[in-house]
Amino acid sequence: MTIQRPALPVVLSAPSGAGKTTLARMLVDRHDDVVFSISATTRPARPGETDGQDYHFVDDNTFDRMIEHNKLAEWAVVHGRRYGTPRQEITDAIQQGRTVVLDIDVQGARQVRKMFPDALMVFVLPPSARELARRLTGRASEEDLERRRRLDNARNELRAVSEFDYVVVNDDLEQAYTEIASIVRAEWSRSDRLRDLDEHTRGMIAELDEIIRQSP
Ligand code: 5GP
């Protein structure tokens, strides 16, 4: 009998441009039993994005219906568009004993923490304000107004950093990935997350008793 890895919602938040989406994808790509929570959004797809893979791209009416029917675990307006986590993305993963990574903003992170108090909350910091601004300029899809909006939003997101369990600075992508992966792995080993730990150790103790009994 082996100890079951705990099901774990992992929230990654950061100002736009800090690299959290790339980090979230790396975590999923490099672990078989880690899945990405695909959000619904009313923003249009960017070039290269695929519906149902990067996001569920929906219109306002559909998003309204999702809220009405209580289909969203959390939702928020970010940069003037609505984004939300389908409740099923989390509950399915938990039922399957998997780790699910949520790439969401701070408003959403707070809602998830309330609903799933044992969620792991990680904040990704850019190495500096200048680097954050530079990364946002480098995005082909960002218009000037949009870039300004994201910079303003970054100020507010940064204020929430102390609400998170862990903070990782994304200066070097591989290094930041290694830190996040280590944090997640450590959480997998926490005794208070291992639901079948008692049963497992009871089984071991019973086996040991048997070994002792048969010993000369
Ligand atoms: P982008 O439009 O650049 O993909 O994402 C903009 C922001 O919305 C990012 O900070 C991203 O983490 C956040 N976001 C994406 N999905 C969700 C979601 O389901 N809920 C919330 N609250 N924020 C989200």
- Dump pLDDT digits (tens) for 162-211: 999 999 999 999 999 999 999 999 999 999 999 899 999 999 999 999 99
Compute CA 54 distance to the chain's CA centroid, rounded to the nearest angstrom. 14
Residue-level length of the chain: 216
Compute, in angstroms, the gap from residue 45 CA to the centroid of ligand 1.
13
3-state secondary structure of 186: helix
* Cβ neighbours of 176 (radius 10 Å): 22
CA distance 28 to 199: 30
110-158 pLDDT tens trace: 999 999 999 999 999 999 999 998 888 766 555 778 888 888 999 999 9
Atom of ligand 1 nearest to the CA of 20: 12
Question: 40, 37, 87: which is closest to 63 by C-alpha?
Answer: 40
Report the residue among 13, 103, 147, 155 best suited for mutation to probe ligand 1: largest number of ligand atoms under 8 A from its CB.
103
According to DSSP H, which parts of the chain are helical? Answer: 20-29, 60-68, 87-95, 106-115, 129-137, 144-158, 173-188, 197-214
Has residue 107 got a pLDDT over 90? yes
Dihedral sign computed on CA atoms, order 51, 55, 61, 62 = positive
- The closest residue, in CA terms, to atom 11 on ligand 1 is 104
pLDDT computed for residue 150 by the predictor: 86
- The closest residue, in CA terms, to atom 17 on ligand 1 is 104
